[in-house]
Amino acid sequence: MKAYQTDDTICAPATAPGHAAIAIVRLSGPESFSIAGKIFLPRKKNLQVTALTSHRMYLGQIMDGDEAVDEVLLTRFVAPNSYTAENMVEISSHGSPYIQQKIIQLMLDNGARFANPGEFTLRAFLNGRMDLSQAEAVADLIASNSEASRLIAFNQLRGHFSGRIKDLRQKLLEFASLIELELDFSEEDVEFADRMQLGDLLNVIDDEVKVLRESFATGNALKHGIPVAIIGKPNVGKSTLLNALLNEERAIVSEIPGTTRDTIEDTITINGIAFRFIDTAGLRESEDHIESVGIERTHEKIRQAAIILYLFDVSSTGLEEIAQTILEFKEKVGDEDKHLILIANKIDLLEEIPHHFRNLVDLETIFVSAKRKENISMITESLLKAVDAAPEDKHAILVTSSRHYEALSQTSEAIAAVRNGIAGEIPGDLLAIDLRGALHHLGSITGEVTSDEILGEIFGRFCIGK
Amino acid sequence: MKAYQTDDTICAPATAPGHAAIAIVRLSGPESFSIAGKIFLPRKKNLQVTALTSHRMYLGQIMDGDEAVDEVLLTRFVAPNSYTAENMVEISSHGSPYIQQKIIQLMLDNGARFANPGEFTLRAFLNGRMDLSQAEAVADLIASNSEASRLIAFNQLRGHFSGRIKDLRQKLLEFASLIELELDFSEEDVEFADRMQLGDLLNVIDDEVKVLRESFATGNALKHGIPVAIIGKPNVGKSTLLNALLNEERAIVSEIPGTTRDTIEDTITINGIAFRFIDTAGLRESEDHIESVGIERTHEKIRQAAIILYLFDVSSTGLEEIAQTILEFKEKVGDEDKHLILIANKIDLLEEIPHHFRNLVDLETIFVSAKRKENISMITESLLKAVDAAPEDKHAILVTSSRHYEALSQTSEAIAAVRNGIAGEIPGDLLAIDLRGALHHLGSITGEVTSDEILGEIFGRFCIGK
């Protein structure tokens, strides 16, 4: 951890780049107040920066020597009551990127260093303001673009996930103390009873780790959006359907001007859950073109998808043949984890809807006209139903980070090794090695044990200024 | 003015859209505190929003009913000590556009109205916190992207320009009172002496208005960048020169990561002054293509430019002929306001630089190799010298707004009418009409007289949230 310099003063813009009413630049570290004192002239004469009340905004000017640069509001945060738990200063200026750059330049000239991505949060972590999984939640919260991803990140930030991990670690420590007890009394032959007890405790821990590991599929999908593939033969109306689905949502979501939604192309959000359409670039090309792209691309899409919308032209002749193809497809996909929804398109060309088709395939089939936008809402409802993966309890603890998932898997492996050790009646001091491994992996999630490499990876993904 | 609703509570994001450490949403108006009270739960229990100290940041959570949305810092500004002079609230949340939109939605649900562009500043103006030209300076300051444009806007914000206008208006009022005096004493035949005095005072006012009007060319150029045209025959290296100039600057400017400079294409900033290259889209096309675009586009470029970089291939034969063409060109342009700088390109193809060329044309000639980037800095120095238009005193008052220029021109016309009236010995009460016109036009600059239409035009150009 010591590889990170934490005894200097860092600065960075804290708001998004661009012209706006307000832009904020922040300073953190021991020299924050003295640097701010050199470039800030309070409106109220004879007021020193070091005399300002913590957490209070003061009007004044940023000075470049004798030249006033901008009128700003400055707030001082006295350690440890700040985001980083260090002395901090926030300067709120007019939202001109030029002015913001000028203020930062003045901070650099007066001894500050430009912060690395995530360095403010890194300091908050190193100073014990939050654990590592909470720090990761800060980045997730900023990146959140749906109700589900916000909620997961926010709960993680509030320590729900860390609490569970710490609880597990506590149980493992209990287990370790039982092992030690056994070591102490090993000559008195109390071993057998203890090993039963050990096994039971281990099962409880292992089950809990397993529940967390299994939540990753849902957690990851909710965080990044549920991957949906639209597949079907050429000219069945795939791109028309995609547009109809996207328009459906746009009609629901009333945009507040000035707030830019994340414009992840081809994602719709239903009841706070994002559905991400895979490889829509292909769909946006002319449909004729698609056949030439070949079957491989389709296979790749199916592999990635959690939900497959299988589209066919219900107005074409030979529905029995189509049903046969679909049944073969279902056989091939064969993966219970994937939801297959049949979309019978082009009902506008029919006089009567062939409801009997459902009997041919025994699969959910939605009859629509993508062209006339008929029954599109039935698809969105169906998408939502398909995510029964979404937990009943919206505050359920879900693993959303592959780093955490990795660590939990390694914990499981170490626990399995302990279990084998118990079965093989190996000595307690050897069990202790695997036990320490399990404790290490759990501890790496919350940062009780960590390395520069892990920290570099985590905080390198943050935005500047956080 | 009453057309603007000012008795309700408005809200908007105040920071630029995008993912960032911090995003700010602001509320202004009578219900600011009660709306904030409904959606903010302070960390410290039993603390009411209305009990929070003004200008102090409080930690807490934004609540959507029972559901916590985000951890935020809330600041209350008690009227009249706020930007708008109304009760205001600023909420600093995690910089997720989704969260920001959610907070705004909660404000709207609780009775706020989404603000129009510039509406916070409009309220500041209507509440007497700043005059109209200062309000306009706020938008200019946010848009500023060079030292010169920042300085002009900042001085205008600080009231330097308004002060001058108010001073002029005061003198006109003095003049008006002299006219009234004359009316009072008209039967006593004191007229002649007074009219001399009136004429003198009018000259002083007229001269000052003229100085301001004449500053518009410089002010406008400094604000928007000095327009520069690069012209020359095909294949003399125009696009290579443009790239060399742009690279020259990029080598000088050390970008601070995370702060986005305005990426106005093809603008270079030298000593804080922006030079804007006109119609560079043409230059970026293949040079062969250019000839077909025709002579008209070149004429248009020359018309717009303040500085013309005339490029020719000094390695080609027939320098006398080139000199002849240049002299004819100079004759045709014939405008003393335009700076013509000759760039003799491709010196890399010559063994010796033909300095005698300067004698042929009697014009500033810079010998360069755009390809090898030789002597490019001589061009940037020359550009800077050409702007001797830039005032000695960098705090000189410059007119930068065409609205102000218009108003000053109309003031001049009204003054001329008054002058003619005096010369024609028309009665004082008729003079008073033109005099009122002059007062009206001056007053429109600072907003002492204004209309919904003018306000709509001015504030409609602001960004949301300011």
Task: Say yes or no to pLDDT of B403 above 80.
Answer: yes
Prediction pTM value: 0.84
pLDDT tops 50 at residue A6: yes
CB B97 within 8 A of CB B17: yes
A20 interfaces chain B, CB cutoff of 8 Å: yes
Lowest-pLDDT choice from A321-325, B242-246, B288-292, B349-353: B288-292
Q: Are residues A266 and A374 in the same domain?
A: yes
- Per-residue CA distances from B48 to B34, B37, B56, B69 (Å): 10, 7, 14, 19
* Residues spanned by the domain of A434: 136-215+399-447
Give contacts of A395 with chain B, Cβ < 8 Å.
none
Confidence of residue B176 (pLDDT cuts 50, 70, 90): confident
In a domain? residue B90: yes
In terms of domains, do A379 and A433 share one? no
Q: Do B257 and A114 touch (CB under 8 A)?
A: yes
**Residue B459 placed within a domain:** no
Residues 6+ apart with CB under 8 A from A160: A395, A397
At A194, the pLDDT band (50, 70, 90 cuts) reads: low
Q: Do residue A231 and residue A120 come from a single domain? A: no
A439 vs A423, higher pLDDT: A439
The reported pLDDT for the residue numbered A292 is 44
Query: Quick check: A379 and A249 in contact, CB under 8 A?
Result: no
Residue A356 DSSP code: T
Q: Is B102 on the interface with A (CB under 8 A)?
A: yes
**Whether residues A102 and A144 fall in one domain:** no
Q: How far is A286 from chain B (nearest CA, A)?
A: 30
**Is A462 part of any domain?**
no
Asked if B152 and B20 sit in the same domain, the reply is no
Q: State pLDDT tens for residues A292-302.
A: 445 667 777 88
Residue in chain A nearest B466 by alpha carbon: A21
Say if residue B259's pLDDT is above 60. Answer: no
- Residue of A25, A20, A28 lying closest to A103 (CA atoms): A25
CB proximity under 8 Å: B 103-122 to A: 104-105, 108, 114, 120
Higher-scoring residue by pLDDT: B450, A182:
B450
Query: Given an 8 Å threshold on Cβ–Cβ distance, is A260 in contact with B17?
Result: yes
Q: Tell whether B95 is within 8 A of chain A (Cβ).
A: yes
A118: left (phi over 0), alpha (psi -120 to 50) or beta: left
> What local confidence, expressed as pLDDT, does residue B250 receive?
58
Split into its structural domains, chain A has a count of 3
DSSP reduced 3-state for A139: helix
pLDDT of B441 over the 50 cut: yes
- Picking from A68, A260, A261, the nearest residue to B154 by CB comes out as A68
Q: What percent of chain B has pLDDT over 90?
A: 52
User: Which domain-ending residue is among A105, A130, A155?
Assistant: A130
Whether B466 and A21 lie within 8 Å, measured CB to CB: yes
Q: Please report whether residue A232 resides in a domain.
A: yes
ipTM summary value: 0.84
Note the pLDDT of residue B249. 63
Burial state string for A24-33 with b = 16 or more CB within 10 A and e = fewer than 16: bbbbbbebbb
Whole-number Å distance between alpha carbons of A190 and B264: 80
pLDDT digits 0-9 by tens, B329-347: 888 887 667 889 999 999 9
CATH of residue A125: 3.30.1360.120
CA distances for A399 relative to A71, A371, A403, angstroms: 45, 40, 9
Cα A415 to its chain centre, rounded Å, is 27
Task: Indicate the residue among B73, B98, B130 that finishes a domain.
Answer: B130
Q: For residue A351, give the DSSP letter.
A: S
Q: Which residues of B touch A137 (CB under 8 A)?
A: none
How far apart are alpha carbons A383 and A386 in whole angstroms? Answer: 5
Read off φ and ψ for residue B226, nearest 5 degrees. -75, 125
* Cβ–Cβ below 8 Å for A142 and B258: no
Q: What is the pLDDT of residues A109-144, one digit of tens each?
A: 999 999 999 999 999 999 999 999 999 999 999 999
Task: Answer whether B16 sits within 8 Å of A15, measured CB to CB.
Answer: yes
Reading the block at residue A329, the tokens are 């497809």
Q: Is residue B199 part of a domain?
A: yes
What pLDDT does residue A201 have? 84
A269/A304 same-domain check: yes
Same domain? For B336 and B256 the reply is yes
Residue A292 shares a structural domain with residue A315: yes
Please answer whether residues B155 and B393 qualify as being in contact, where contact means their C-beta atoms are separated by less than 8 angstroms. Answer: no
pLDDT given for residue A299 in this prediction: 78
pLDDT of residue B283: 60
Contacts with A93 from chain B: Cβ below 8 Å: none
Q: Residues B299-303: what's their mean pLDDT?
A: 81
Q: Using the beta-carbon criterion (under 8 Å), do A20 and B466 form an inter-chain contact?
A: yes
- Per-residue 3-state assignment (H helix, E strand, C coil) for chain B: CCCCCCCCCEEEECCECCCEEEEEEEEECCCHHHHHHHHEEECCCCCCHHHCCCCEEEEEEEEECCEEEEEEEEEEECCCCCCCCCCEEEEEEEECHHHHHHHHHHHHHCCCEECCCCHHHHHHHHCCCCCHHHHHHHHHHHHCCCHHHHHHHHHHHCCHHHHHHHHHHHHHHHHHHHHHHHHHCHHHCCHHHHHHHHHHHHHHHHHHHHHHHHHHHHHHHHHHCEEEEEEECCCCCHHHHHHHHHHHHHHHCCCCCCCCCCCCCCEEEECCEEEEECCHHHHHCCHHHHHHHCHHHHHHHHHHCCEEEEEEECCCCCHHHHHHHHHHHHHHHCCCCCEEEEEEECHHHCCCCCCCHHHHHCCCEEECECCCCECHHHHHHHHHHHCCCCCCCCCCCCCCCHHHHHHHHHHHHHHHHHHHHHHCCCCHHHHHHHHHHHHHHHHHHHCCCCCHHHHHHHHHCCCCCC
Residues A321 and A230 in one domain: yes
Q: Say if residue B199's pLDDT is above 50.
A: yes
Q: Which residues of B touch A27 (CB under 8 A)?
A: none
Kindly report the CATH number assigned to the domain that includes residue A268: 3.40.50.300
User: Which site among A10, A107, A256 would you substitute to test the B interface, given the most B Cβ atoms closer than 10 Å to its Cβ?
Assistant: A256
Q: Which residues contact A245 (CB under 8 A, 6 or more apart)?
A: A268, A277, A376, A379, A380
> In A, which residues are within 8 Å of B69 by CB distance?
150, 154
What is the domain-level CATH number for residue A202?
Answer: 1.20.120.430
The answer to whether residue A465 neighbours chain B at the CB level (below 8 Å) is yes
A24-71: pLDDT as tens digits = 999 999 999 999 999 999 999 888 899 999 999 999 999 999 999 999
Instruction: Write out the two tokens for A161.
Output: 């996930």
Task: Say which residues have a Cβ less than 8 Å from residue B8's Cβ, sequence separation at least 6.
Answer: B29, B30, B31, B112, B113
In a domain, B465, yes or no: no
Model confidence at A75: pLDDT above 90: yes
Last residue in a domain, options B76, B104, B130: B130
A289 vs A347, which has greater pLDDT? A347
Based on the fold, state whether residues B126 and B190 are members of the same structural domain: no
User: Which of A28, A56, A94 would best serve as a mutation to test chain B binding (most B beta carbons within 10 A)?
Assistant: A94
Residues of B in Cβ contact (< 8 Å) with A106: none
| Residue A314: inside a domain | yes
Say if residue B299 is in the same domain as residue B322: yes
Residue B282's pLDDT is 59
Residue A4: pLDDT band by 50, 70, 90 thresholds?
confident
pLDDT (mean) for B299-308: 84
Beta strands in A330-458 (DSSP E): 339-345, 365-367
Nearest-10 crossing angle of helices A119-126, A452-460: 140
Over residues A368-403, the pLDDT tens digits come to 999 999 999 999 999 988 886 555 677 789 999 999
| Mean pLDDT, rounded, for B397-409 | 94
* Window A:246-265, CB contacts with B under 8 Å: 256-262
Closest-CA distance of chain B to residue A249, Å: 16
Q: Taking CB atoms and an 8 Å cutoff, what residues of chain B touch A225?
A: none
Say whether both A370 and A253 belong to one domain: yes
Query: Is residue A400 within 8 Å of A143, Cβ to Cβ?
Result: no
The rounded percent of chain A whose pLDDT value lies above 90 is 52
A336 pLDDT band (50/70/90 cuts)?
A: low
3-state secondary structure (DSSP) of residue A224: helix
Q: Chain A to chain B, count of Cβ pairs less than 8 Å apart?
A: 208
Environment class of A208 (CB within 10 Å of its CB; exposed 0-12, middle 13-18, buried 19+)? middle
Region B38-67: mean pLDDT is 94
For position B258, what pLDDT does the model report? 47
Predicted local confidence at residue B189, as pLDDT? 57
pLDDT of residue A184: 62
Q: Is B381 exposed, middle or buried (0-12, 13-18, 19+ CB in 10 A)?
A: middle
Identify the band that residue A260 occupies on the pLDDT scale cut at 50, 70 and 90: very low
What's the pLDDT band for A14 if we cut at 50, 70, 90? very high
Q: What is the DSSP letter of A273?
A: E
* B12-43 pLDDT, tens digit each: 999 999 999 999 999 999 999 999 999 999 99
In a domain, A184, yes or no: yes
pLDDT of residue A280: 67
Q: Does A15 touch chain B (CB under 8 A)?
A: yes
